[in-house]
Amino acid sequence: MNILNFFGKRSESASVAKNRLQILLAHERADNGTDAALISSLREDILAVVAKKIDIDPDSVRLEMDRNGDVTTLGIDIELPSARAS
Amino acid sequence: MSNATVVVVTSGKGGVGKTTTTAAIASALAKEGYQVCAIDFDVGLRNLDLIMGAERRVVFDLVNVVRGEASIKQALVRDKKLNNLYLLPASQTRDKDALTEEGVASVINELRMYFDWIVCDSPAGIERGATLAMRHADEAIIVSNPEVSSVRDCDRIIGLLDAKTKVAEDGGRMPKHLMITRYDTERAKTGDMLATDDVVDILSVPLIGVVPESKDVLKASNVGLPVTLSDENSPPAKAYLEATRRLLGEDIPVTIPEEKKGLFGKLFKGRAA
């Protein structure tokens, strides 16, 4: 028997696991592919706006989503053409 | 022609450690500096994202890519810690026929251009998902527990690897590696569990690693880190790192890493965790 169990200390990884599952399942129960649809349409709109000013490769635009407890963040990563190209 | 190697992690039986193995090996390969992509083929019941700690960042998935709804680059989720490690998640759709043979072929062919190693996490069973996961593999890692039903199911899978894969259809022979997981040295010693040699004898597949039963595997999955990244000195991490070196072609003897016993080891391990 582990001596730490004897003193009643609970490992922290279990509470991390519970928290992760709660966030994930809350999203999975609510989501019917809306995230993907939203990202797709946002991506197209953003591409159109940026393309007005800069010549960009559609493949070099990355959108990343991060779902936290209460907040979901969206990161947009656009690789600008190198200096020699402009 | 690319130099990419596609490895399928398969077992037939569920719950033996395919996803744990996929995450551990993919991360270990990435730590060696290779460009690595792990693909989850378990459509409907994905979990590799959870084991790799990427679940909050999944937007698109393998089915979106196969259907042309997203490009591969859009669907790949980059690992938080290793920027040369990517995940292509499975979809949560219930449609079992969402993956097509041609779709998967084109995804794998494109990934071969970007990556050195592509590690395919097979679903349990011998149906479509499992056969598609192994279809384009160059090598296979067969995961077995030292337990009768698991070994029997592996034998079925070996039959499929030698019949239903591209390599087999082209007249080749799929190189296979046996990974024994959840191994308990004590019980093997007392004869209450199949020993590694027994499993190797029965399946006739060379051993690539023996992963001891360990609480570190559960701990790593709790926090969403592949066991090779969460604590690289833990016995399962050592076993996977060793297996990875063997996968890379090194000729090193298979060892079975063990937990440190003794009161002092326990005390210090507990404090540090």
* Torsion B240-B245-B249-B251 (CA) sign: negative
Range among A14-18, A54-58, B158-162 with highest mean pLDDT value: B158-162
Residue A83, pLDDT above cutoff 90: no
Quick check: B141 and B23 in contact, CB under 8 A?
no
Report the range of poorest mean pLDDT among A9-13, A20-24, A34-38, B62-66. Answer: A9-13
Chain B residues lying within 8 Å of A28, measured CB to CB: 92
Contacts of B207 (CB under 8 A, 6+ apart): B177, B178, B179, B180, B196, B200, B254
What tokens does B260 get?
Answer: 């440190």
By the 10 Å C-beta count (0-12 exposed, 13-18 middle, 19+ buried), B123 is classed as: buried
pLDDT value of position A2: 52
Q: Where are the beta strands (DSSP E) in B96-230?
A: 117-121, 139-144, 176-183, 207-212
pLDDT at B265 over 60: no
Highest mean pLDDT among A9-18, A38-47, B88-97, B222-231: B222-231
pTM, to two decimals: 0.88
Instruction: Please report residues of A whose CB lies closer than 8 A to that of B224.
Output: 16, 20
Are A3 and B270 within 8 A, CB to CB?
Answer: yes
Q: What is the pLDDT of residue B273?
A: 39
User: A20 at the B interface (CB within 8 A)?
Assistant: yes
The predicted structure's pLDDT at residue B268: 54
Please check whether residue B266 touches A, CB under 8 A.
yes
CA distance A34 to chain B (A): 10
- Compute the nearest-CA separation of A79 from chain B (Å): 13
Protein fold of B5-272: Rossmann fold (3.40.50)
Beta bridge partners of A74: A65
Domain boundaries, chain B: 5-272
Domain boundaries along the sequence of chain A: 9-85
Residue A86 pLDDT class (50, 70, 90 cuts) = very low
CB contact under 8 A, B59 and A14: no
Whether residue A35 lies within 8 A of chain B, CB to CB, comes out as yes
Q: What is the pLDDT at residue A1?
A: 46
Backbone angles phi, psi at B7, to 5 degrees: -115, 130
Contact in structure between B137 and B168 (CB atoms under 8 Å): no
Confidence of residue A55 (pLDDT cuts 50, 70, 90): confident
Is residue A73 over pLDDT 90?
A: no
* Residue A39 with chain B: CB contacts under 8 Å: 59-60
- Interface contact flag, A67 B222, Cβ < 8 Å: no
Q: What is the pLDDT of residues B211-260, one digit of tens each?
A: 999 999 999 999 999 999 999 999 999 999 999 999 999 999 999 988 76
Residue B271 pLDDT: 46
pLDDT of B115 over the 80 cut = yes
B chain contacts of residue A63, beta-carbon cutoff 8 Å: 59, 74
pLDDT for the residue numbered B267? 55
DSSP string, A63-78: EEEEE-SS-EEEEEEE
Which residues in A lie closer than 8 A to residue B59 (C-beta atoms)? 35-36, 39, 63-65
Question: Does the pLDDT of residue B2 top 80, yes or no?
Answer: no
Mean pLDDT of chain B: 92
